Structure 1
Amino acid sequence: MFVLRCGSCGSTVGAPTCGPNVTWSRAEENRTMGLPSGTEVRDGDLWFLPVDASHHGTYTCERSTAEFKLRTLVCRDQRGAWEMEFMVSVSSGQCPHPAERRVFKQGTRDVLPCKQMDILGLNKTTAHVNWLKDCRPLERDGGTIEVDQEGRLRLYGASEDDAGVYTCLINFTLDGQTHTSARSIQLYIHNDPDVILPPALVYPINDTVLVELGSSAELRCLAHLGLREHDENFMYWVVDVPHNDDDHIGRVLLDKSWVYIHEDKGVYGLSTLSISDVIPDLLNVPIHCIVMNPTDQAEGLLWLQKADHTELHTCIGVGLAFGLAVVLLVSGYFFRVDLVLAYRKLCPQLAQQIPDGKEYDAYVSYLHVDDVSSSGTATFALHVLPEVLEKQHGYSLYIRGRDDCPGAAIHDEISATVRRCRRLIIILSADVQSYKSAGTEEVLPLKHSQNHEDYEQKIGLHDALMQNDPRVILVEMDGPLDHSGLSASLRYIRKQQGALQWNTASSANQRCTTLPSNGYFWKCLRYNMPPVPGGRALTTVV
């Protein structure tokens, strides 16, 4: 069995396959023909199941570049598709001709790769790897042989007797049928540094280099040249261009150089082709690296392809947009109070709420305890709040004790008035939680026996929890407070939305304390209040 792959997709186990954008054909006598029997296209790869003498010939794969960035190319037609051409030579023997050459130094330990990972990756549990030497079962007198899980053959203490053609045979099962795949390597064993060995190309094999037009580029070619330097070794580059473009290409500086590199496994040659200015005529044309000596010749292929930065630009744009969105969201969260207030001030017509038939913007609820009737709580509710919200910002407040009618049914009036208000401001204060009695400090429950305040809170909280109307604004004065004395509804609302903090000392002394500034308190209170209806006259504006 044999597999032809169009380009580099799927070249390793786990890599993506070529997909449906690949078309295979067979050329015979300058005619394009269909695929012969015994072949099958699977995920863009051409499978020979099994190889037959009739499969000898030239095969071409054509692949669209819409989805894939190619690293192995041959030519590009007018439709923007890529083509690769393969020459398949079928031998009648069990072992194919060597696909590569390897040189081991005598007495060393080294590895021969099977290089059939596409086959081993299909079914490792049933695949069986067997190595042959000169197409006969592998045997070594006094030598150690080891084959690892990837099918690689390890030779310890290589000797001259180990030289020959090694074939990696893989027997495996596919779709219920038993198949055999084979690949051969020519192995040389040398200990004489003066022996000239056939060159073995390391890279490029058939690679693509992404370049920018007008920029410089350096192409590199690496080949194993034997055990020592020899004057008979040569490395050079050939650029294939149409004849009518010869003069144009000649104006491009192609500076080539090569050097020897000494490593444990011998001597390598590294050739560098320097291009001072990449022009369009150099794109998508074959550039050959040729390595030769008196024994043999090796050739590598490179292509220059214009770099596509669309994906990079898209990623940068998405990243910047995402970063900007995060900054805006974070800024909007931390500065939401100032933004909303600025919006209401700059666009009063747009910020106006839809008419809802409500008479008051807020109902102010606080505890009326005779012993603390002159406390800061009453002062705040009856004087400070109206001074700022009503006179400076045009809000309409209902404050019981100031706006209720004498002689009216209190519970009925409270129920009706709360439902005519857009907000319910509940003021909680530490000075109504405790008082001195006979020299002993006792705790008063927030739900006092004079329970008109408790009733108005119950009505407002019931509507707020069931209908979210009116919305509740909690104000805590001179905390911390003992929240265990609050009703379950108040504790729930405070847990969900928190409470605004008012510091009487800060207001009286006109200086900041450890508590939040009262200037910020007024911003937050106005933020939680509805927009001021248009047409209301203000006494002063700040």
Structure 2
Amino acid sequence: MRMAKSVNVLVMLLVDAAVTLDHYGPAEIYQVMEGHLLLLKCPNVQGPVDSNVTWAREGGPAGATASLPSGVEVRDGILYFLPALTSHNGSYICESTLEKRTLKVNFGVSVLTGLCPPAAEVKTFPTGVRKSLPCKLEHILRLEKSHNIRWLKDCHPVERAISVLKNGLMRLVNVTREDAGTYTCLVDASIDGRNYTSAVSIELDIETNFTFPREPEVIQEKEQVLSVTMGERVELKCSALMDPDNEAFMYWIVNGSFTDTDPELEEWFNQKQGLMYESTLTISRVLPRFLNVSIRCRVQNSQGVKDCFMQLREANNSWFYSGVAVGVASPLLLLLMVFLLCYFKADVVLAYRKISSYFVIPQDADQIPYDALVSAVPVPTTRTRNPAAEFALRTLPGQLEGRHGYRLFIAGRDDGPGEATPDAMAAAVSQCHRLIIVVAPAEEAWKPCNVEERHLTYVQNLGLYDALTHNTPAVILVEIDGPVDYGHLPRSLGFIKRRQGALIWRKNSNNRVFWKKLRVLMPPQRRSSAYFGN
């Protein structure tokens, strides 16, 4: 693209705001037709700034407006030629003050005769496309009384069909080789009741061997919804295939605004490989204004526009907090379950036995008629009553037999006269699942002194021997009324006490826990086939 260094109408010189020189280079020549309106604007100056801008013609003192020729005047810091005359040829100096620095710019004005000025720039269009030519008379078009925009080709009215917009843009449909030439835009304006005309020309070349670029293609066209965490840094990527040309762009639009207006947004554009391009939008930290709004990556060139849509939503972290809560609560819940299981162990076992008894029909295959043999250790005492024997003969059967249906063989109750022989006692022990030995505190050292006590001692010794050697029957040791001194009892009882402990029954107490523990140590209650109606 070529740019001519001369302009024949309104001149608007744009200069970067960061100026490092106090004086610009030699004056450029701006060509304008005689009788046309010309406006010159000092760079880096906007609005009414008469106090900061001064104009002078070369050869006169800077700031001396009297040195300007007739028909040239300053309005709001802009130099007006009303209109330009051949006597206005020459160099004009603009002096402006910006941030305590004085900038000086030279303008060269050359006034020509005729209607159409020489072309100020050249544009090249391919054939077969729809294109537009701009009318670069922006300041003239902004005047309140600007009107009647006309286009000429080679200084003659355009013969082909065209459309002209309010901003002076002329559209050409289906460009052909015959459209090549010099086009001039003329704008009429009224200032102080007088009518003026301004003109600018553009040379149009037609490229016949032009290859049309391909229409851009977005790799991902469906809308993406991304879960993000508030305050985190996020990068959004958009990839597209397109042929580069002078109208190729790739940029982001967030909630209808460009990214350069938001300090939290930054975008990068790079060519990955061949015709593959990628644009990255970086959000330094996710704020509420970026959530649930449209985020578009726009890809466009001369052949079309494509958008890639995205949306950010706040991530649902409830699963994380739930996991943390479960992780914290699980050990506590496990400890609680262990505690409850230990504390209510007896209740759990008894409940399980009761429930399972309704679904399973036990078989009496072992042919053992008794659940337990009960033996009370004789206690030497000066009292008439023996607490161990009283518990074994009255209290224990009242609970186990009367309330829970256990079958007990109680020494001294179920062995008739003459049956307390060693062989009979051995047979009785073998017919029981458990051996319950009841002991009570002794007042003196224990020694069997009569026949009945010797028989009981044999039963106890026989049962303890089998329990210690064959682990059958299982022994349940029950202590009555306070701590028992096992030094006065057979050594085997002391061994059982040390190995598995003893259940303690106390008088004048409901002993609920004692009875539950005793039932747990007993075998499950048996249900015969007759019980189930078979």
**TM-score, normalising length from structure 2?**
0.41
| Structure with greater Cα Rg | 2
